Amino acid sequence: MTVRPVRPEEYDALAALTVSAYQALLGPDLDRGYVAELADVAGRAAVVDVLVAVDDEGRLEGGIAYIPGPGPLAWFDGRDEAGMRMLAVAPAVQSRGVGARLIAACVERAKAAGKASLLLHTTAPMVVAHRLYERAGFRRDPDRDQVLEGGLLLLAYVLHLDGRVGDTRPGGGIG
C-alpha cells in the first residue's frame, strides 16, 4: 500500500469512497449538507493536501485531508498547528491498517513542517477512529471541542509534536 497525494482522475472515486465510509457508519444520521462537503474532493484538493492510500494495483483504499495551517478547512488559527479531516477507508478494506497509515502520513507531514501540534475533530459514534487516534498518540482536548449549529458536538483530539504532554485529565477521555 502507498500513501500519496490524490490525482484529479481519482476525485470522483475518492468522493464516492468517502461518502460510503461515512454512510456505512452513520446511516441516515449523516447530514445531507455534510455529504456534499465530503464529496467535494476537488474543492478540498484545491486548498489543502488530500492524501490517498492505494493498493499495489493502484486501487483506491482510503483518503484523508491534511490541513497544513490556518485557512480553508482549518478549525484552528495557530500558525504552528496543522489539522486532519475527512479520514475515510473503503468499507471493504477496513481493519487492515489503512486508516492508521493515513494518520501516520499526516503526522509525518506535520513533523516535517515543524508543527507544534496536529488537531482534529470527530464525533461520538466514530469510536474506531478514536482508538486509532489514541494509538497514534492523540489525546482528547475538551477545551477545543466545537458545537455546530444544530447542536452536533465535535470532539477535539490533539497530538503534540513538540514534546508537551496531551490532556490526560480524568474525564478528558472520549465524550
DSSP three-state, residue 33? helix
Cβ-proximal residue to ligand COA, closest one: 99
Choose the stretch contacting ligand COA; rule: CB under 6 A; options: 27-35, 107-115, 128-136, 164-172: 128-136
Choose the stretch contacting ligand COA; rule: CB under 6 A; options: 5-13, 19-27, 41-49, 143-151: 19-27
Among 124, 122, 72, 74, smallest CA distance to 99 is for 122
Choose the stretch contacting ligand COA; rule: CB under 6 A; options: 17-25, 33-41, 74-82, 162-170: 17-25
* H or E element at residue 64: strand 60-67
Q: Does 45 bind ligand COA (CB under 6 A)?
A: no
Beta pairing, strands 117-122 & 49-54: unpaired
Residues that bind ligand COA (CB under 6 A): 21-22, 25, 87-89, 94-100, 122, 126, 128-129, 131-132
